[in-house]
């Protein structure tokens, strides 16, 4: 069986070089500009999105629990007097960032403390 001229000698080399170059360019364009992503990156982004959604949903509840606690005004003064890097621990110890069936959530406590500090 005789091979076509494009699959013989230098033509075959050029054909394979063109295919390899096209593959590389497709990968660069796809991952660089077209938004392709690996499964591990997609899973990581989904986990981060879920965690931020939980914080966004639970932080206002934490603030409400804080504000409806007994002696809330004095506790707010104590929170604002606490160093900024210790305020999430203050909220955790107060139990405002603890929800039924779970442990205190530090990210929720941090967001709660930030929201409380922004209030007057």
SS3 content of the chain, % helix, strand, coil (to 5): 75, 0, 25
d(CA 120, CA 116): 8
pLDDT at 94: 93
Domain spans in the chain, listed from the N-terminal domain onward: 1-36, 50-118
Per-residue pLDDT of the chain (120 residues; tens, 9 = 90+): 777 777 777 888 888 888 999 999 999 999 888 989 999 999 999 999 999 999 999 999 999 999 999 899 999 999 999 999 999 999 999 999 999 988 999 999 999 999 999 986
Q: Is 106 exposed, middle or buried (0-12, 13-18, 19+ CB in 10 A)?
A: middle
Question: Which residue matches tokens 């621990």?
Answer: 89
Predicted TM-score (pTM) of this structure: 0.69
């Amino acid at each position: 069986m005789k091979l076509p001229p494009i699959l013989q000698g230098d033509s075959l080399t050029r054909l394979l070089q063109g295919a390899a170059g096209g593959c590389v360019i497709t990968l660069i364009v796809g991952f660089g500009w077209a938004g392709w992503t690996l499964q591990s990156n997609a899973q990581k982004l989904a986990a981060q999105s879920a965690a931020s959604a939980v914080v966004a949903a639970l932080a206002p509840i934490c603030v409400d629990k804080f504000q409806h606690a007994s002696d809330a005004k004095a506790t707010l003064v104590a929170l604002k007097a606490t160093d900024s890097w210790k305020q999430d621990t203050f909220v955790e110890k107060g139990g405002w960032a603890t929800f039924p069936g779970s442990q205190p959530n530090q990210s929720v406590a941090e967001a709660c403390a930030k929201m409380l500090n922004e209030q007057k």
